[in-house]
Amino acid sequence: MEFVSPEGLRLDGRRPMEMRQIRGEIGAVAKADGSAFFEMGNTKVIAAVYGPREVENRSQQISDQALVRCEYTMANFSTGDRMRKPKGDRRSTEISLVIRQTMEACILTHLMPRSQIDIFVQVLQADGGTRSACINAATLALADAGIPMRDLVTSCSAGYLNSTPLLDLNYVEDSAGGPDVTVGILPKLDKVTLLQMDAKLPMDIFENVMQLAIEGCKAIANYIREVLLENTKQLEYRRGP
Amino acid sequence: MLQSKSFVRKTKQGKVVKVVREHYLRDDIYCGASICKVCDSSTARLSPSASTILILDTNVVLNQIDLLENPAIDDVVVLSVVLEEVKNKNISVYNRLRTLCSNSMRKFFVFSNEYHKDTYVKQMAGESPNDRNDRAIRVATQWYQSHLGAAARVLLITNDRENKRKATEEGISAETVESYVKALGQPGLLDLLVQPAPEDVGMEEVEDLRPSKRKVIYSEHKPMSEITSGLHRGIYHQGKLRVNRYNPFEAYVGSESIGDEIIIYGRGNMNRAFDGDVVAVELLPQDQWQEEKSLSIADEEDEEEEDVHLVPSSADDAPRNTDLAQGSVGGTKAVLCRPSGRVVGIIKRNWHSYCGSLEPMPMPAGNGGIAHALFVSKDRRIPKIRIQTRQLGNLLDKRIIVAVDSWDCLSRYPSGHYVRTIGEIGDRDTESEVVLIENDINSRPFSLQVLACLPPLPWSVSSEDLANPCRLDLRHVCVFSVDPPGCKDIDDALHCTTLPNGNFEVGVHIADVTNFVHPGTPLDDEAAQRGTSVYLVERRIDMLPKPLTEDICSLRSDVERLAFSVIWEMTPQAEIISTKYTKSIIKSCAALSYIEAQARMDDSRLMDPLTMDLRNMNALAKVMRLRRIERGALTLASAEVKFQIDTETHDPLDIGMYQIREANQMVEEFMLAANVSVAEKILKHFPLCSLLRRHPSPTREMLEPLLRTAAAVGLNLDVSSSKALADSLDHAVGDDPYFNKLIRILATRCMTQAVYFCSGDLSPPEFHHYGLAAPLYTHFTSPIRRYADVIVHRLLAASLGLYKLPTIFQDNAQLTSTADNLNYRHRNAQMAGRASVELHTLIYFRKRPTDTEARIVKIRSNGFIVFVPKYGIEGPVYLTPRGEKGGGEWVVDEQQQKVKKMDGSISYSVLQTVMIHMEVVEPQPNRPKLELALICR
């Protein structure tokens, strides 16, 4: 199938190096300590953060750092076929783990020993790249909760179809069966915290694809920073002089 | 700007889901006109002087692609909505359109109107997708007109009346193709137009020439829904229709649901299906299986023509069950049980353009107008095609290309249109061109992108190559090559040295083509597409550009060349002790021809090292050959002929059998050994993605004609295994020296051809090569002229760890399709080579009527088929004048393979020697053919 036309347009009209429209919003769940809503095209996710708070299960308490927990779920209505998915299936367990590890790498856990931070992410609408969208939403929510972090973590995926590296695959491109590289970085520190790919790709091409994904992450980081800045300005304004 | 597209779709399971997709609209899509001031014109394709810019409607592209390919039509904007529609309706037209768009000589510009913010159209409530697309085309046209303003006229070309009406209402200038082409004032172009189906045109031009013939000839095709349900319920069977190359009234449909081939007799049952179409077939009741056949022959309006042709070299080329064609009584027994059927519908058409000429006809009285003519394809599987032309006088003696448009059930023949002229009939260049087109061989010069991949000339071995530790320096070794005289693409060389322990070191050095042809480059893509070099009698169509073929890769004498070597240590009994594979640098000390090599070996006075090496090798080769034959390898014979071509006129001067010398066999033996060694090596390293070559064992049914002939002359052949067959062939000695060769030739044509395959697709027992009696075989030794060898070189290099394996090898499906393409190209190249020889035989005999000796190979009711050993051709000899259908004067004895005169005075039996007279006759003007006639003794 042709995913990139000879005119250089993808199926949805983007060029290979273009991301989908992104939108982030802080404060989606008022009850949570921090929450955010994040959209990458038609992929919509919501994240809520609770904590740092007391550890629920004493036996899990860690004496010198905070316990980070993450739960990823997909709403039953998030995909077209409205299938009832069992909670805790392999895919969501894996993604929960991935998100937890990625976020743990940037939270300054040693500042909050013997406490617990819960991150809940839920996919409201899925159209490829849910993993990345969840990480981006979680970053925003953590920042909203005021949890100390080394840097923002942002994530973006890139693929390789029709011999062209493509940024930010949507569902159609994702299900083409080509390689899908998901990268998470700490943009300021320029460090990679997440790198996943479950296909074969020659080394040189892989590097190009990964570089593209990193560029995407950086663009998202800039956007998230803007959202946070805007949010802070509003908070300042509300507080009054 | 973001738009979301949502539509409802039914899944395979029958569930209805709503699909929502994003659709981004952009402002950076440019109009492609270089006169435009607003847009970025770096990608502009339309010419600056264009006064009219054409925008095409989908129906125009679908029907008139031949017209569009004519250079007279230019400055065309192809909208993405049109492309998408064409892609969904006809993928081959889509590919042709895409080629046009990417051709830098043509000014076709693709405008992505669906993604442009001003030309995107949302489907309105109650609007059909078709109407929406038509509207999108109109909106885009309007945008173009307002965008370019007065600088150019934008013209919408549409044959859809409704669309044209609406366009005119909206103030867009629109025309039909016919009126546009007429306005161009080039009458030749009008022939390219596809005549619209009657319902599309108004009442004014209902073409009915022969009202008497206005009757239904073919039954109506069943609607698609009925076919689908019929296939489901198992009353219809789906398969690809293959028409018998030698009898166009007989076709086969390989059906998986039946597990056997369904035979379809007669045009009526074929019901307008072409060769290669995917059809739905209904089985006929069992009692009609027999009857249908004789019916079909009675109903043929012109009797099947049997031409003189080259001797087939394998079962694939040979006529299948030809004795059926003449309706001989005895021959039908063998096929009684084959199911026969009739086509009820066509699932997918395989129409393309065909090469041929017009049926001779008198010029119509009213000159200058439209004439209707019948086109006869060179490929006999294709029925005659009815075309309209305004240049009949011009075309009558030309070879032309014609495309098929439709086949109405009221019409005996399909209707089509003229595409282009190749040249005069009978002209050698024209006919060669026809051969190439017929066999889908790309003879165009290499493109600039391909040539850009070549290393700069003059090329020589660089110091990096010398310093490369992977390259063994063999320049001090006495390497030589043995090839046909005048060979310029030398891809193999040999060496043989005596080791101190009495063993021999034998090396086979193959041109290192992969050092220059890198995967993924345009050069590689082109070579993969061409698949093989094609050898015609008077010219060669290379797989790789000439500098590589004749210079850089060619292992010529006295120059340093890069090679890929297989080096064995062999005992004097030709047992292989060790095998080494390495890249190397060689310097050939002699490029011998077979004749020279043979002369050196035979001349006992010569004692120089080269000659000694040759003799050693020959001794080894003889042992290897003997061992191979003991294993059961078949020594098959072919009737290959060789022409001597006049260097000035390129006309054939002499013709004779190709002589095989010991030197040929020696080189062949080592090449076989190298191929086998390499096959073992690559399969060991890459069990799932190696490219190998296999030769399936012939089935008993395929050997049936051979057995019948042999039985008639009292010969008993054992065909239980290749070994048994080889032995019984050895024992088949008759009273004359040629008898054994003749039997071998007959055996050869019962075999199928060897094919390339990907090792992951089959199980190891199927890898077997029947003819060579080798469990594994591949092609390694001719990378200059075969792409398979290039692939094998890459595999071998990867197995040695020199390079990493290109990505294509990880994709099994892609590898399989590559192997299929190679088989297709290989086969076409062979067919083209044969056709070229046939053509030159005709040219040769045109001036030289000859009497010669011939052998009868097949008996027919009204004559027999003879084989002319001296010229390697075979053809029919008629005992009764044609058209009289045997007249009952001659009787065929099937058992004895004899044809006897009623009164018993004369009889001819198979393999008998007869004298014949060969002459070129022209029964119809411009249709020369070779005729064989019996000389009565």
Cβ-proximal residues to B916 (8 Å cutoff; 6+ apart), any chain:
B851, B852, B853, B854, B866, B868, B877, B932, B933, B934, B935
Distance of alpha carbon A58 from alpha carbon A71, whole angstroms: 19
More confident residue, B165 or B538: B165
Residue with tokens 């995107």: B120
pLDDT of the residue at A65: 92
Token pair for B203: 């009442």
C-alpha torsion B465→B471→B476→B479, nearest 10: -100
pLDDT of the residue at B486: 79
Handedness of CA A13, A17, A18, A22 (dihedral sign): positive
In angstroms, the first-to-last Cα distance of chain B is: 91
pLDDT of the residue at B11: 62
Structural domains of chain A ordered from first start: 22-239 (3.30.230.70)
**∠ at Cα B578 (B575, B579), nearest 5°?**
110
Q: Calculate what percentage of chain B has a pLDDT beyond 70.
A: 85
pLDDT at B320 over 50: no
Q: Is B2 on the interface with A (CB under 8 A)?
A: yes
DSSP, collapsed to helix, strand or coil, labels residue B587 as strand
Q: What is the pLDDT of residues A180-239, one digit of tens each?
A: 999 999 999 999 999 999 888 888 899 999 999 999 999 999 999 999 999 999 999 998
Find the residue in A nearest to B18 (Cα). A80
Give the count of alpha carbons within 13 A of A129, CB side only: 33
- Is B25 in contact with A13 (Cβ distance < 8 A)? yes
- Is A13 in contact with B110 (Cβ distance < 8 A)? no
Q: Is A9 on the interface with B (CB under 8 A)?
A: yes
Distance from CA of B23 to the nearest CA of A (A): 5
DSSP, collapsed to helix, strand or coil, labels residue B704 as helix
Find the residue in A nearest to B78 (Cα). A7
Which residues in chain A have Cβ-Cβ distances shorter than 8 Å to B19? Answer: 80
- Is B112 in contact with A9 (Cβ distance < 8 A)? yes
Q: Which of A142-151, B81-90, B253-262, B370-379 has the highest mean pLDDT?
A: A142-151
Cβ-proximal residues to B714 (8 Å cutoff; 6+ apart), any chain:
none
Find the residue in A nearest to B1 (Cα). A21
Interface test with A, best of B7, B13, B21, B814 (most A CBs within 10 A): B21
- Chain A neighbours among B 99-128 (CB < 8 Å)? 101-102, 110, 112, 114-115
- At residue B471 the predicted structure's pLDDT band, cuts being 50, 70 and 90, is confident
- Phi, then psi, of B857 in degrees rounded to 5: -115, -20
Distance of alpha carbon B234 from alpha carbon B712, whole angstroms: 43
The beta strand positions in B267-382, using DSSP E, are: 278-283, 309-310, 341-348, 353-358, 371-377
More confident residue, B567 or B924: B567
- At residue B214 the predicted structure's pLDDT band, cuts being 50, 70 and 90, is low
Q: Which of A31-45, B172-186, B495-509, B844-858 has the highest mean pLDDT?
A: A31-45
- Is A6 in contact with B20 (Cβ distance < 8 A)? no
Least confident piece of the model among A35-49, B452-466, B509-523: B452-466
Instruction: Give, for B332, the enclosing helix (H) or strand (E).
Output: none
- Is B15 in contact with A21 (Cβ distance < 8 A)? no
Which residues in chain A have Cβ-Cβ distances shorter than 8 Å to B15? Answer: 81
Find the residue in A nearest to B3 (Cα). A12
Name which of B17, B23, B110 is nearest A12 (Cβ-Cβ): B23
User: DSSP for A166-235?
Assistant: EES--HHHHTT-S-EEEEEEETTTTEEEEEE--S---HHHHHHHHHHHHHHHHHHHHHHHHHHHHHHHHH
Name which of A7, A9, A12 is nearest B21 (Cβ-Cβ): A12
Distance from CA of A169 to the nearest CA of B (A): 12
Average pLDDT, chain B: 79
- Is A7 in contact with B112 (Cβ distance < 8 A)? yes
Instruction: Give, for B665, the enclosing helix (H) or strand (E).
Output: helix B662-685
Which residues in chain B have Cβ-Cβ distances shorter than 8 Å to A176? Answer: none
What HEC string does B824-889 produce? HHHHHHHHHHHHHHHHHHHHHHHCCCEEEEEEEEEEECCEEEEEECCCCEEEEEECCCCCCCCCCC
Q: What is the pLDDT of residues B664-695, one digit of tens each?
A: 888 888 899 999 999 998 888 888 888 899 88
- At residue B325 the predicted structure's pLDDT band, cuts being 50, 70 and 90, is very low
pLDDT of the residue at B295: 37
B863-868/B850-860 β-pairing: antiparallel
Name which of B17, B114, B810 is nearest A81 (Cβ-Cβ): B17
pLDDT of the residue at B6: 63
More confident residue, A48 or B150: A48
pLDDT of the residue at B198: 47
Contact B509, B565 (CB under 8 A): yes
The beta strand positions in chain A, using DSSP E, are: 22-26, 34-40, 43-54, 67-74, 115-125, 154-161, 164-167, 180-186, 191-196
More confident residue, B906 or B544: B544
Rounded to an integer, what is the distance from CA B127 to the centroid of its chain?
A: 45
Token pair for B49: 């002087």
Distance of alpha carbon B577 from alpha carbon B506, whole angstroms: 11
pLDDT of the residue at B632: 78
DSSP, collapsed to helix, strand or coil, labels residue B187 as helix
Give the count of alpha carbons within 13 A of A164, CB side only: 19
Token pair for A62: 């860690």
Which residues in chain B have Cβ-Cβ distances shorter than 8 Å to A12? Answer: 21-24
Structural domains of chain B ordered from first start: 28-185 (3.40.50.1010), 224-348 (2.40.50.690), 351-425 (2.40.50.700), 448-693+772-829 (no CATH), 849-934 (2.40.50.140)
B576-593/B540-541 β-pairing: unpaired
Token pair for B186: 């080039």
Interface test with B, best of A1, A2, A3, A12 (most B CBs within 10 A): A12
Distance of alpha carbon B343 from alpha carbon B517, whole angstroms: 47
Give the Cβ contact number of residue B599 at 10 Å: 15
Here the ipTM equals 0.90
Q: Is A5 on the interface with B (CB under 8 A)?
A: yes
Which residues in chain A have Cβ-Cβ distances shorter than 8 Å to B20? Answer: 42, 80, 127
Q: What is the pLDDT of residues B340-374, one digit of tens each?
A: 888 888 888 888 788 888 877 776 655 556 778 88
Which residues in chain A have Cβ-Cβ distances shorter than 8 Å to B21? Answer: 11-12, 42, 170, 172
Name which of A7, A9, A12 is nearest B22 (Cβ-Cβ): A12
Distance from CA of A140 to the nearest CA of B (A): 24
Q: Which of B216-225, B600-609, B723-732, B828-837 has the highest mean pLDDT?
A: B828-837
Q: What is the pLDDT of residues B795-839, one digit of tens each?
A: 999 888 888 778 777 777 888 888 888 998 998 898 888 888 888
pLDDT of the residue at A49: 96
Cβ-proximal residues to B369 (8 Å cutoff; 6+ apart), any chain:
B390
Cis preceding linkage at A52, omega within 30: yes
- At residue A86 the predicted structure's pLDDT band, cuts being 50, 70 and 90, is low
pLDDT at B72 over 50: yes
Name which of A21, A80, A200 is nearest B2 (Cβ-Cβ): A21
Find the residue in B nearest to A171 (Cα). B21
